Amino acid sequence: MKEQLGSTILAIESSCDETSASIISNGRVLSNIIATQSVHEQYGGVVPEIASRAHLQNIVPVVHQALEQAGISRSQLEAVAFTQAPGLMGALLVGASFAKGMAQALNIPLIGVHHMQAHVLAHLIDDPKPDFPFLCLTVSGGHTQIVLVHSPLQMEILGETIDDAAGEAFDKVAKMLNLPYPGGPLIDKYAQTGNPLAYEFPIPNIPDLNFSFSGIKTAVLYFLQKQVKLNPDFIKENISDIAASVQYTIVKALIRKFEKAAKQYKIRQIGVAGGVSANSGLRKALEELGQKHNWEVFLPKFEYCTDNAAMIAITAHYKMLHGEFTDLGAVPSARAEW
């Protein structure tokens, strides 16, 4: 007997600088292959055209490996899923075109997936899974959202950033500290040995449940410019304290609003998703928040936090169960409403 209703699906993620493919069968992820494009490091950020070309090079071997690792042949596939939006247009087109070609060749349905919805549903890949409704803080390089998750396919954005995303703030500050892209993980690393209260940066006071991170970035920029004038080696000598103080400020801004939202909506199960959820300071702060209020905290595995196709696969699994398919004529979109 099948442990859960469902089908065997190939999912593809290509929205930014990771080419990833995953196989899911009856709701269980059998493989999740991720090729990260390190070529962008030298440019200090993702170069869209280079990302598209790298996806073209990676997609066939990545899909092949995902099938092989899962022990699934192409003829066993019952649907092909892909990230439809949001993301870099050229990058999305590579995944979408490949998925369409495969769906057409195998005569199986196509499932377009929203990347941000997929980040949230990463919580449904492994046990323990949250019950519905739960509250998810989705923090990535392009988004910062508080999402009320009513069911796998029904979500409501309660608040989001009005300017920079949290990951963007980490990356921009890292650049000021002369660290390579993506700087978030490096800020995290330096912060481990720094004093989070060494320097004080303002936490923006934005109404409702929205966020703003451009002010923090500007405050750090002016602070560094002033200090470097006095001591040209200031950054080198104090990088751990600067990283720890910036991380403390960003995490505090995130947690403050997330706590407010959970209280306001009386939600007792909270989780975090997206690349920034790999941040050790944020994970610790969430655990502490859970302890403070006796809320249950859900932290997905690292491999499901940053961009990956397993989250696209689990979303496609639920869409397939609900009969939500995508037309072969569907086009990807760089920006998309839910």
Query: Least distance (Å) from Zn ion to the CB of residue 195?
Result: 31
Write the interaction track for ligand KG4 spanning residues 263-302; mark x where CB under 6 A is met and - where it is not. Answer: -----------xxx-xx-----------------------
Nearer to ligand KG4, 276 or 320 (CB): 276
d(CA 177, CA 47): 21
Nearer to ligand KG4, 7 or 145 (CB): 145
The one-letter amino acid code at 38 reads: S
The one-letter amino acid code at 105 reads: A
Q: CB neighbours of 47 closer than 8 A, spacing ≥ 6? A: 40
Query: Least distance (Å) from Zn ion to the CB of residue 110?
Result: 21
Lateral strand order in the sheet of 8-13: 28-36, 18-25, 8-13, 79-85, 110-114
Determine which residue in the list 120, 273, 307, 310 makes contact with Zn ion, applying CB under 5 A: 307
d(CA 34, CA 110): 21
Helix (H) or strand (E) holding 283: helix 280-293
Nearer to ligand KG4, 210 or 280 (CB): 280
Cis peptide before 182 (omega within 30 of 0): yes
Which span sits near Zn ion by CB under 5 A: 44-52, 100-108, 229-237, 306-314? 306-314
Query: Least distance (Å) from ligand KG4 to the CB of residue 172?
Result: 9
Q: Do 74 and 298 form a contact (C-beta atoms < 8 A)?
A: no
In sign, the C-alpha dihedral spanning 32, 141, 243, 251 is negative
Determine which residue in the list 27, 95, 142, 332 makes contact with ligand KG4, applying CB under 6 A: 142
- Is 241 one of the binding residues for ligand KG4 (CB under 6 A)? no
Nearer to Zn ion, 188 or 307 (CB): 307
E strand residue ranges, 37-168 = 79-85, 110-114, 134-139, 144-151, 154-160
Determine which residue in the list 140, 269, 308, 315 makes contact with Zn ion, applying CB under 5 A: 140
> What six digits make up the tokens of 338?
């839910």
- Is 95 one of the binding residues for ligand KG4 (CB under 6 A)? no
Query: Least distance (Å) from ligand KG4 to the CB of residue 308?
Result: 8
Nearer to Zn ion, 3 or 337 (CB): 337
Kindly identify the residues of this chain, within the stretch 7-66, that bind ligand KG4 according to CB under 6 A. 16
Determine which residue in the list 112, 167, 290, 332 makes contact with ligand KG4, applying CB under 6 A: 167
Query: Least distance (Å) from ligand KG4 to the CB of residue 16?
Result: 5
Point out which residues bind Zn ion (CB under 5 A). Answer: 140, 307
Point out which residues bind ligand KG4 (CB under 6 A). Answer: 16, 140-142, 167, 170-171, 182-185, 188, 274-276, 278-279, 306-307
